[in-house]
Chain A
Amino acid sequence: MKRLLIPALVCLTAALAAPRAAAQAKDPEDIFTKTSKPGKAAYRAFITKESPRGIVLQGMKTLVPADDITDIFFQVEPIGVRINAYRPATLAEKTALTSTKEAERTKALQEALSKYEEALPGLKEGQPFAKSHIAYKIAYLRYLQAQATGKEDDLKAAAAKLQDFAQKHPKAWQRSRTLQTLAQVQLDLKQYAEAEKTYEELAKADVEDEVKQDAQVQALLVSVQAGSSLQSEGEKLDSEGKGEEAKAKFAEAQKRFGVAEGKLQGLMKELPKSSRQQFRARLALAECLGVAKKTPEAKALVKGVLDETKDKGLRTLAYNTLGYCYFANKQWQDARWEFLWVDMIYNQDKYEHAKALYYLSEIFARLGEGDRSRECLDLLRTDQAFSGSEYQRRALREEKTQ
């Protein structure tokens, strides 16, 4: 599953730091990482080299891993561009990512995009890292805009921008997150084959092993999602009395589940036992089994993970995975308990917490508990902790269509 919370944080921390950045031509860049204190850069240095694995800073031998970087604020030149376009872009971006008011958010998002687009052509030559970073920002903000509107054309345009960035900047440190975002857009467009291909591309890229393995798992989960989609289509056809067509869809779905299951089984054997990646692969397999209506097997796998690890992040994933399996099988009450465990106890990972809240709101609505459903959605929509998460955006989008 694509995670959008990290890119959102990247933009946010950068925006927070922007007013503090010195407006001097030769000042170094401010690099923000996951370990940075709020509003404070972890490094203030010039970037000497970049690759999909990370960046190398002047005077430092070690690499700053791409996955650790939350954002970079460049002291772009000329200064006029920095003051009139780049800095306003970062400030607007901050508003766009933190405001809970729809109108303010939309306006700020448009402004950030315009200002980044204004800044990009005005940059002095010799600033390749800043250039690629702004190009990435433009592609990413287009994606956010498309997600907010939910329009197919906007999503397609965003996918094209991201693809363009990925092609033109194969060595950029943002490659991993670009490809992940691209895969997410493709999934939103139900372009399962393309999304799978994107994850496979990421699995082959020059990135950390963990990212590669995760991409492999994600590629297989996309296949599972494609199978689920086929299954839904089959059910619809069946209800319309188109038995033969439905049969074909079911067969195709089962085939996909079978293939994904086989590959996940294989992947699990390849990965180091009890490693984080292996646990994730096991949970992915559980999800695959769950949507293929093999809930008892899925449950056994999840239980195995819970028995073997005390890691809160993995336990959170495990509960959400099982909750989703039940949800996919319309076992609302069972699903409710699993998501409640995330909401009440394992709520440290805000992305997963948002997911649990989203599904809880759906489940409560189906169980006729409208008030609780609305309460979950309200929390998801208004709590800043979920800002920018896929599920908050889904909730906001649904609010608009209600």
Chain B
Amino acid sequence: MKRTLLLLLTSATLLLPTVRVSADEPAELQLEFVRKMREKGYASLALEYLEKLQKNPTPGLADVLPMELARTRVSLARQKEPASRAALFDEARKELEAFIAKNPKSPEIANARVEVARLVAYQGQALVSQAVRTEDAKESNALAAKAEAYFIQAGQELEAAGKALTKPEDRVQIDFERGKNFLDQAHTHPPDSTRAKLVGEAIKVLEKVEKDALEDNTNPALHLARGWLVKCYQEGDEPDKAARYFKALLRETVSEARPGQRWGWYFHIHFLPKDLKVKETPLGKARLIQKEALAWLKAFPSARNTPEGYAVRFDLATAYANEAQELNKGTKTGAKAGTKAAAVSKLAQKELASLAATDNDFAEKASQMNLALSFQVLGEKTPLSQLKDFEQCYLKARYEMYRMQDAGKKGGPEARQEHLKAAIAAFRRGLALADAKAPFQKLSEARFYLAYIYLLAGDLYRAAIVGEDLARSRPPTPRSAAAAGYALQAYADIAGATKRPGDRERLRDLAKYVLVDNATAWKGEPVTHVARFQLAMAALREKKYGEAIDYLEKITPDYSAYIYTQAQLILAANAARREAEDPKQKEAFKAKVIEALQRMPKLPDSADTATAQMYFAAQLEQGNLFYAGAFAFARKGDVASAVKKYAELDAFQTQLRQQYDKHSKRFPEEAQVDFGGAMRQMRNLARYGMAQAEYRAGEYDKVLAPSATGDVVAEVKKLGQAEKGAIKLRDYQLTGEILGLAMRADVQKGKIAEAKEVLALLRRLSGPDDAAEATSAGAVLKTLVLELKSQVRDLKAKQQTKQLDATVKNFSAFLDEMARQFSKNPSRDDLMFLAASYSSLEKYGEAAKLYAQIPEPKIAVKKTYTPEETKELQDYWLGQVNYGRALRLENRALRLEKQFVEARKVLQRIVDDPRGHGKFLAEKELLHMYEDQGLYGKGITSWGQFMNHPTMKAALKGMGGKAPDEQRKIKELYFDCFYHYVYCNFMYGKNHKLASKQKEYINRAAGKIVNLESSNPEAWELVGGDFRALLRAEPLLLAAFREQGGKEKIAPARVP
């Protein structure tokens, strides 16, 4: 009871509002508080304090807070590993630039500009650090070159900031920054003449600063300049001058000299190993450095965690390690030296451990050095069972981890596995042996590494448990956030494998703990990105695209896997777009894809394979967008814009292909095949689009140009020469369409031989997995025929008679030639293709003759047929439907009963034969014959019934489960029937003798058109063209249409 009360009391106090009493301190004191925290290396606390102030700033603070926030972010970034600085630098830069833009007349403006310049320089310095650590010389040089670009930019910014100041004394600080910047720039070059020149520039500027500020001893810039001149002279081969400056600097007693003294003294210490004037043995030098470094730390106790403080501490640790090494050389001669060496080594390790525990430029180096020293102490070959305590086991485990990484680099998977197991065993034993003496920090390190290596070993459950346990430790350890990341990864893998809701729930719980419970404490930590990413993946598995996109959008570019996550966002948004039914939603998802593509950074050459694959997968979506844009223009008839878009797609795919070639070698074979195919398809889409547009424009030479169809035809020819039989291609359909365009262009140009050659290739095209090549070739040829039909229809609709005549003439010549070739022993496919092609040219007589030659399959009537028999029967009877249609259309104009008899006979045979296929289509053809014969009354009744045909009803009902193309075909069929039903109504009315009946049926027809137009846009899109043509041709119907509120603006056809 009492305990509960106590808990309540504690909770109550925790819930108190946290307005600080210090909020009433004057603005300048608040800023001093922040500045001092920054100076002491408490930048994260300073930032937290400023963010609190920002929520309710006092008037004196509101204006300067952005500047202070930016400065603090920069300080914070500089305490981090170089690779983790970019995001904070970016944020700080945005704040500064916003400040400059918002306060152009502020007295702080020059300072803000200097801060921007500094920031640019810091970005350069981060790259220099990376360059130094990169082993690959080429990459290192590239990084150095990038860094130099930053320093040059920083120099320009400083120049600009300086020009804005009128008083020379105000410019001193800026000049100091410029001098320092020259020195930084020098470090991007190897020791050559350029570097020497830049060091010279730095000396020139810094000496000027010294001269300008000499009279004011309280100007920190004076002492800072002297401090950096120490470094410049050391690098410029003037060590004596450097030493004189150093002495002069240390003589200063004013407090303003301390920052300069700190740097100057550090440079002095750092130079000692290289200083030829110091006549000491290596041991003596090591001790001298220790003495100097300790004196430095004693003189500036609160600067331990500043950049220069870290540097001095690292030099101190190195000096201890060097001393230990020197003493160890003499251990054979005396045990005392060995004891001393161990003691000094311990001091080195203490300092290194402290450096490694925080983010700074030296953390990584310190960690590696510390581990190396520990190994020396432990002895490599001691078996695990002989290790007595946590510390020893911890070292052993770290050592095994190091060996594991080494084995990984050298490509020894077995050795790697062995060290991995050994590391796990050592950590486990260590944690089991841990007692109260085991340091808390190391214990949490051990738990952290154990979670990590469990994950590496694929022991997901243990990784998840150990990681989560550390993540939820109270108080949190510096490794808690990263451990949460490992646990999240493990839970995600488990949930992915088991698909159990419970596992997903655990993942969500932990992610919530990261993102909600630790929203403040872990703000900006990479684990927040991991949590968002894993939540997004979980949402995607459940097809909750919107939720997944929300999470992925919140991931910021500082996350190391940013490219991967944004690629994932693109794919998710695209999937959502495909599945969305509401057009507005579709557009919204498309916008997400575009935004993500725009913000996605360029793929670095060093990207890992998984990231690179995701990147290219996302970029293919960019290609799709280009294509969709082009296609939309083409559909609208805006040929020029379409061609432009296709050209953009072509340029994009060329550039992407070049980028892809840099990475593809590392991809798994299957992925290479997929991406290679997709890239090829993208190129072919661009080429097809361009060629199609040119073809429509009648530019046949351009169609045949290499940049349109030429290259593709040449490639297929080459393939055809290399192999006999089928030419197998993944995108055989698209390639077939390109070849089809080439063939048609050849025909149009009268190049019959070339056209025949292309047609021969076309007929050999096949999908990679198709057993029967004829299936693929048939599909390609069918498309070709449809294209031809569509072309003729377009030309007719546009009344381009001259072009239509030429097209029909050219193709007829080509088909006649083909027919002559096939006449000896034509195959069924040859006959079908030629007949269909003649039909497309509206040469129904020739078509009917060819259809009539198709032999009937010798398959008797039976209950069940084999798939091959079914296919054969299908092809035959569909050919018969086309035959009937050809007969009907050939004789339509004549309206002769005799000719109709033949057509009806063919069609009725289909309906009656028990093996018949395409009966429904045959029945439809029979209905068309009523119209052809002018029997509109019968047509009205028949079309009305036909729309309720059981086959039609079944097709409409089962449409939901079919592919979009299939759905469209069914709808087209239905609304085509509807058109004819309306047409029959109109024609019946128009031809009626009674005026009242005439009006009634015309109005009925018009009413149905208006109703369709206003209530069913999809249907209107499908058959609107036919109705438009009818309205244009029939003034009576058009008048009734308008009278009933028809919206389409249609001009009646001109009377010739």
Contact = CB atoms under 8 A, between A and B. Distances in A.
B33 A345 contact: yes
A212 B537 CA distance: 71
A322 B21 contact: yes
Contacts of B16: 295-296
A197 interface: no
Given A302-B21, A306-B21, A340 B2 contact: no
Contacts of A276: none
B354 interface: yes
A247 B6 CA distance: 12
Interface string A369-381: 1111011001100
Interface in A305-351: 306-307, 318-319, 322, 329-331, 334, 336-338, 340-341, 344-345
Given A375-B305, A379-B301, A382-B301, A238 B21 contact: no
B820 interface: no
B331 to A, nearest CB: 27
Contact of A367 (B40, B301, B475): B475
Nearest to A369: B478
Interface in B1-40: 1-3, 6, 9-10, 13-14, 16, 18, 20-22, 24-25, 29, 32-33, 36-37, 40
Given A250-B2, A370-B357, A345 B36 contact: yes
Contacts of A250: 2
Interface in B299-357: 301-302, 304-305, 354, 357
Contacts of B1: 243
A330 to B, nearest CB: 7
B4 to A, nearest CB: 10
A233 interface: no
Nearest to A345: B33
Nearest to A333: B18
A11 interface: no
B3 A337 contact: no
Interface string B35-75: 01100101001000100000000000000000000000000
Most A CB within 10 A of own CB, among B6, B10, B29: B6
B358 interface: yes
Nearest to B30: A345
A59 interface: no
B307 to A, nearest CB: 16
B13 A337 contact: no
B440 interface: yes
A344 B21 contact: no
Interface range for A: 35 or more
B981 to A, nearest CB: 78
A368 B24 contact: no
A371 B13 contact: no
B304 A329 contact: no
A307 B24 contact: yes
B386 to A, nearest CB: 28
Contact of A337 (B49, B298, B357, B476): B49
Contact of B302 (A295, A331, A379): A379
A296 to B, nearest CB: 6
B390 to A, nearest CB: 16
Contacts of B21: 299, 302-303, 306, 318-319, 322, 338
B367 interface: no
Interface string B457-476: 00000000000000000011
A366 interface: yes
Contacts of A340: 33, 37, 42, 45
A337 B32 CA distance: 14
> Could you say which of A234, A299, A318, A344 has the most chain B C-beta atoms within 10 Å of its C-beta?
A344
Interface in B198-226: none
A293 interface: yes
Interface string B424-444: 000000000000000011000
Nearest to B357: A371
Contact of B13 (A329, A372, A379): A329
A368 B301 contact: no
Contact of A368 (B42, B302, B478): B478
A254 to B, nearest CB: 12
A27 interface: no
Contacts of A345: 29, 32-33, 36
Contacts of A366: 475
B477 interface: yes
Contacts of A337: 20, 22, 49
Nearest to B353: A371
Contacts of B354: 371, 374
A296 B14 CA distance: 11
A329 B6 contact: no
A62 interface: no
A97 interface: no
Given A293-B13, A295-B13, A371 B475 contact: no
Given A239-B3, A337-B49, A368-B476, A383 B301 contact: yes
A96 interface: no
A388 B440 CA distance: 30
A234 to B, nearest CB: 8
Contacts of B441: 370
A368 B475 CA distance: 6
A368 B21 CA distance: 25
A208 interface: no
B100 to A, nearest CB: 29
A318 B40 CA distance: 23
A199 B249 CA distance: 52
A235 interface: yes
Contacts of A303: 21, 24
A387 B24 CA distance: 33
A390 B33 CA distance: 26
A238 B5 CA distance: 11
Nearest to B480: A368
A183 interface: no
Contacts of B36: 344-345
Contacts of B440: 370
A357 to B, nearest CB: 11
Interface in A216-245: 234-235, 238-239, 243
A243 B2 contact: yes
A246 interface: yes
Interface in A28-84: none
Contacts of A234: 2
Interface string A141-154: 00000000000000
A345 B24 CA distance: 14
Contact of B10 (A247, A296, A299, A330): A330
Nearest to A302: B21
Contacts of A295: 13, 16
A401 to B, nearest CB: 12
Contact of B477 (A247, A319, A368): A368
A10 B892 CA distance: 128
Contacts of A371: 354, 357-358
B812 to A, nearest CB: 87
A275 B863 CA distance: 115
Interface string A285-311: 000000001011001001100110000
10 contacts: A243-B1, A243-B2, A250-B2, A293-B9, A295-B16, A331-B13, A368-B478, A375-B304, A378-B301, A382-B298
Interface of A: 234-235, 238-239, 243, 246-247, 250, 293, 295-296, 299, 302-303, 306-307, 318-319, 322, 329-331, 334, 336-338, 340-341, 344-345, 366-372, 374-375, 378-379, 382-383
Given A302-B21, A307-B24, A370-B441, 9 more contacts: A238-B6, A303-B21, A303-B24, A337-B22, A345-B29, A345-B32, A345-B36, A368-B477, A372-B42
Interface of B: 1-3, 6, 9-10, 13-14, 16, 18, 20-22, 24-25, 29, 32-33, 36-37, 40, 42, 45, 49, 298, 301-302, 304-305, 354, 357-358, 440-441, 475-478, 480
3 smallest beta-carbon distances between A and B, as pairs: A344-B36, A368-B475, A303-B21
